[in-house]
Amino acid sequence: MYTSSENHDCEVLIRITVRLPGGLEDIMLGLLAKMKMYIEMRLEKLDKC
């Protein structure tokens, strides 16, 4: 379940991404992928401890 504020943030993000030209969208997707990889790496390190 989303709270109303979280849902609003998602809508704002969607509106921003719709307005972005393709190049910026690719950059954003790339950053998200890097963040995801980084988080997964951190989680793996925590598992090994």
21: left (phi over 0), alpha (psi -120 to 50) or beta: beta
pLDDT of residue 46: 80
In SS3 terms, the chain reads as CCCHHHHHHHHHHHHHHHHCCHHHHHHHHHHHHHHHHHHHHHHHHHHHC
pLDDT of residue 15: 72
CA 21 to chain centre: 18
pTM of the model: 0.43
Q: pLDDT tens digit string along 1-49?
A: 455 666 677 777 777 666 666 777 788 888 899 999 999 998 888 877 6
Q: Which residues contact 2 (CB under 8 A, 6 or more apart)?
A: 10
